[in-house]
Amino acid sequence: MREFFQGRWIGSGDIPPNEMLAAGAIALVLIAVLTAGLAAASMVANVDHVTSIYLIPVLVAAIRGGVAPAVVAAAAGIGAAAFFFYAPVHDFRVQNTLHIVDLVLFVAVAAVIGRIATNLRRARMREAADRLREALIGSVSHELRTPLTAIVGSASVLAQAPQVERDPRLGPLVAGLREEAERLDAHIQNLLDATSISSEGVRPQIEWIDPADVINAAIERKRTLLEGRPLAVKLAGDPPLVRVDAGLIERALSQVIENAVKYSPAGSPIEIAVERDGDRVRIEVRDRGAGLTAAERERIWERFYRGPRHRDTVAGSGLGLWVAHGLVTACGGAIAAESEGPERGTCIAVHLPAPPYQGAARISETLSETSDETNG
Amino acid sequence: MARNQATVLVIDDEAQIRRFLRAGFELEKFSVTEADSAESGLRAATLQPADLIVVDLGLPDGDGATVVERVRSWSAVPIIVLSVRANEAEKVRLLELGADDYVVKPFGMAELLARARAALRRHRAPGDMQPSVRVGPLTIDLSARAVTLDDVRVPLSPKEYRLLQVLAQHAGNVVTHQHLLREVWGARHIEDTHYLRIFVRKLRRKIEADPTRPRILLTELGVGYRLAQGAEAPVPA
């Protein structure tokens, strides 16, 4: 399971040895063919400065096999040119200054071509990995969510059936069925997010959004968990709109809220505060729970990290805050933990970009009560 | 009541999902027909016109969008899409193609029924035919162009009224940002979602008991806004 999230499980750009060997072999065959062709041509015409021809096998080797085969192809090309075409012929020595310049140029151009081709190859592999990841996430999501949809839907129909509704034992059972299935759905989303972050596949859809809307959506998503918790949401003044992917930030805040609930005593309050902080908006989620030791504060954002104080008492995967961190940073935000020490509560602060609106004056004009004419 | 004889066409390739949708709709006195592919769904929609279509976004022989687009070319029947989370752009596209609303999988039957009823109600009393819309303490009188909160008149600018009017005409169903911007500010401002965000914040101060925890004018992240439905308007927490 852990290897799955190590980040390099799909196409890191490394080329398998057999492909490198194949690329080298193809380049050598090409060099042999080209050499024979050039030798034949030299019988009827004067063939000189042949090194440019040998760039072709270098290019092929670099695209197919990366750096190592390209170097082999370049060396073989130099060898062939020096041995067969540059005086003294049938000897690896090269005496003509122009030929030496030729060979030096050849090495330089081959190096550049090799580099470009390798980058091209990497980009192509990354694209293939992207597509594979999208397909994988799509199919996992579909395969797992389809049965969950049937479970949640069926439970919701059962819950409304009069026989179930009237029975004090069956009612809660059916409600629990639905809640647990929804919890499972949240875990699936969490794993999918973790996979996206691991493979650097988070693609935020940035838009303007009211921070209060994102917070409300996160609270709504965790409403079952928050039952019996006094919850205060404080907005200082008129916090500006933020420019983020609302869905990603909602999921990050959900994780933070879930953590606050998990590591604080039942019934203790959770406080959420929003305020402007320069050209950012700070959203903090504060609990009165277990707090953080210095060591925990340092490691809290690590993947799979579980604090030793809670490892055996609170269930968890150690993924939540790591996912929150990944989602927030993907939107250009930052996330930090503050705590005055163990048992003194934790405050997780999320900073989100809130750049000034373009044409702010025009907006206030457009929004003004009296003016009904938009101002282009 | 008339709406209790409504027929619904369910287009989904998963038998288990069709089964609970059938049970859920039949318990509410709808009559249900089923189709398991886009093609058979379109055929069923043509042969026996339904009052409501529920269609899955991912079908084996083409996506739900194709169904929405084809049905809309000849019918105004309400369409609700079964969608997946984290795919807001796709939801917007479907709504722009003419779907009336969506639910996100996994969903409860009550949620789907509420969306479906809202769409059916609008379909039966289109546009200005509905004299007024009530959401909790708020009444939007569409014929008198007046908005009252607990029977007290709320002073609104023409644009604020226009926004509420568009939402009220779709009461209970989502309205995309693009649609609202086009209707209230004109087609030139279709990309200016920040107008809308600030505007909605101001409007909420006039109509919501707690503007930071709205119960009437609800946000659908990444998609648009929804006027809560009268009957299901949740009580303030």
Specify the DSSP class assigned to residue A10: S
- Inter-chain touch A210–B197, beta carbons under 8 Å: yes
Dihedrals φ, ψ of B23, to 5°? -60, -45
Say if the Cβ atoms of B213 and A233 lie within 8 Å: yes
Chain A partners within 8 Å of B110 (Cβ): 156, 160
- Whether residues B105 and A145 touch (CB distance < 8 A) is answered with yes
Query: Is residue B127 in a domain?
Result: no
The pLDDT-based confidence of A375 (bands split at 50, 70, 90) is very low
Whether residue B50 sits in one domain with residue B8? yes
Residues B75, B159 share a domain? no
Please spell the DSSP secondary structure of A277-344, one letter per residue.
ETTEEEEEEEESSS---HHHHHHTTSTT---TTTTTTS---S-HHHHHHHHHHHTT-EEEEEESSTTS
Find the residue in B nearest to A229 (Cα): B237
How high is the pLDDT of residue A59?
Answer: 85
Residue pair B79/B165 in contact (Cβ under 8 Å)? The answer is no
pLDDT in tens, B116-136: 999 998 888 755 566 788 899
Instruction: Give the number of A-B residue pairs with CB atoms closer than 8 Å.
Output: 121
Model confidence band, residue A2 (pLDDT cutoffs 50, 70, 90):
very low
Q: What angle do CA A319, A322, A327 make, to 5 degrees?
A: 120
pLDDT, average across residues A278-289: 95
Bridging pattern class, strands B62-63 and B58-59: antiparallel
Spell out the residues 6+ positions from residue B144 whose beta carbon is closer than 8 angstroms to its own: none
Q: What is the pLDDT of residue A369?
A: 44
Bond prior to A88 in cis (omega within 30° of 0): yes
Looking at every residue in chain B, the average pLDDT score rounds to 88
Residue-averaged pLDDT of chain A: 84
Q: What CATH number should be reported for the domain holding residue B57? A: 3.40.50.2300
Give yes or no for residue A365 having a pLDDT over 80.
no
From start to end of A22-109, where are the E strands?
Answer: none
| Cis check: omega of the bond before B106, within 30 degrees of 0 | yes
Stated as kind and residue range, the H or E segment containing A232 is: strand A231-235
Report ipTM for this prediction. 0.88
Looking at residues A121-133, what average pLDDT do you find? Answer: 79
Query: How close does chain A come to B27, measured CA to CA in Å?
Result: 8
Distance between CA atoms of A73 and A257, rounded to whole angstroms?
58
> How many residues does the structure list for chain A?
376
B108 and B170 belong to one structural domain: no
On whether both B149 and B106 belong to a single domain, the answer is no
Residue B1 has pLDDT above 70, yes or no: no
Nearest to A214 among B107, B159, B221 (CB): B221
What is the model's pLDDT at position B175? 96
Contact criterion met (CB < 8 Å) for B157 and A369: yes
Higher-scoring residue by pLDDT: B25, A47: B25
Q: How far is CA A46 from the centre of its chain?
A: 57
Q: What is the pLDDT of residues A242-261, one digit of tens each?
A: 999 999 999 999 999 999 99
Check A217 against B23: CB less than 8 A apart.
Answer: no
**Do B114 and B149 fall into the same domain?**
no
Give the residue-averaged pLDDT of A144-169: 91
Domain boundary pick from B74, B95, B122: B122
Q: Which residues contact A97 (CB under 8 A, 6 or more apart)?
A: none
Compute the average pLDDT of residues A204-222.
94
Domain boundary among B58, B91, B122: B122
Per-residue pLDDT, averaged over A314-323, amounts to: 86
Q: How many CA atoms lie within 13 A of B57 on its CB side?
A: 23
- Pair (B97, B186) in one structural domain: no
Q: Of residues A156 and A117, which shows the higher confidence score?
A: A156
pLDDT at A74: 86
For the cut 90, the answer to whether the pLDDT of residue A340 exceeds it is no
Lowest mean pLDDT among A120-134, B49-63, B193-207: A120-134
**Residue A198 vs residue A331, higher pLDDT:** A331
Give the helix/strand (H/E) hosting A209.
Answer: strand A207-209
Helix (H, G, I), strand (E, B) or coil at A269: coil
Band of pLDDT at residue B5, cut at 50, 70 and 90: confident
Residue B41 counted as domain residue: yes
pLDDT of residue B127: 53
Asked if A160 lies within 8 A of B14 by C-beta distance, the reply is no
Instruction: Tell me the residue range of the domain where B192 lies.
Output: 132-232
CB A57 within 8 A of CB A30: yes
* Per-residue pLDDT at B234 exceeds 50: no
- For residue B175, give the 3-state DSSP assignment: strand
Q: What is the pLDDT of residue A6?
A: 39
Q: How confident is the model at residue B229 (pLDDT cuts 50, 70, 90)?
A: confident
Ordered by start, the domain boundaries in chain A are: 1-201, 207-375
Q: What is the mean pLDDT of residues B166-195?
A: 90
Q: What percent of chain B has pLDDT over 90?
A: 68
- Say if residue B96 is in the same domain as residue B159: no
Inter-chain residue contact A149 with B107, CB threshold 8 Å = yes
Mark yes or no for CB contact A148/B106 under 8 Å.
Answer: yes
> A112-121, A324-333, A365-374, B217-226 — which is least confidently predicted?
A365-374
pTM of the model: 0.76
| CA distances from residue B174 to A66, B204, B210, B220 in whole angstroms, order as listed | 52, 17, 21, 8
Judgement on whether residues B175 and B207 belong to the same structural domain of the protein = yes
Task: Considering only the beta carbons, identify the residue of A146, A241, A246 that sits closest to B194.
Answer: A241
- Find the range with the poorest average confidence among A79-93, A156-170, B43-57, B105-119: A79-93
Examine the domain organization and report whether B111 and B7 are in the same domain: yes
Chain B residues touching residue A213 (CB < 8 angstroms): 219, 221
CATH number for the domain harbouring residue B136: 1.10.10.10
Q: How far is A124 from chain B (nearest CA, A)?
A: 26
Interface residues of chain B, partner chain A, Cβ below 8 Å: 14, 16-17, 19-21, 23-24, 27, 58, 82, 84-86, 88-89, 105-110, 157-159, 185-186, 188-189, 193-195, 197-202, 212-214, 219, 221-222
Query: Hey, what CATH class is A207-375 in?
Result: alpha beta
- What confidence score (pLDDT) does residue A48 get? 72
Which of A264-273, A307-316, B156-165 is least confident?
A: A307-316
pLDDT band at A5 (very low <50, low <70, confident <90, very high): very low
Model pLDDT for residues A42-54, shown as the tens digit of each residue: 888 777 777 788 8
Whether B107 sits inside 8 A of A363 (CB atoms) is no
B155 and B193 co-located in one domain? yes
- Residue A29: count other Cβ atoms within 10 Å of its Cβ: 11
Q: Which of A169-178, A188-197, B102-111 has the lowest mean pLDDT?
A: A188-197
One domain for residues B185 and B85: no
Of B89, B122, B155, which marks where a domain is finished?
B122
Q: How far is A3 from chain B (nearest CA, A)?
A: 26
Higher pLDDT, B43 or A195: B43
Tell me how many domains chain B contains.
2
Residue A92: pLDDT over 50: yes
Residues in B closer than 8 angstroms to A330, CB to CB, are: none
Q: Is it the case that residue A286 has pLDDT exceeding 90?
A: yes
Q: Are the Cβ atoms of A157 and B85 closer than 8 angstroms?
A: no
Name every chain B residue with its beta carbon within 8 A of the beta carbon of A181: 106
pLDDT of residue A363: 57
Q: Please give the pLDDT value at position A104.
A: 85
What percent of chain A clears pLDDT 90, i.e. is strictly above it? Answer: 38
* Better pLDDT: A43 or B76: B76
Closest CB from A146, A160, A178 relative to B14: A146
Average pLDDT over residues A227-250: 93
What is the arithmetic mean of pLDDT over A300-313? 84
Mean pLDDT of A166-189: 91
Q: Which residue has the higher pLDDT, B94 or A317?
A: B94
Q: Do B158 and B86 sit in the same domain of this protein?
A: no
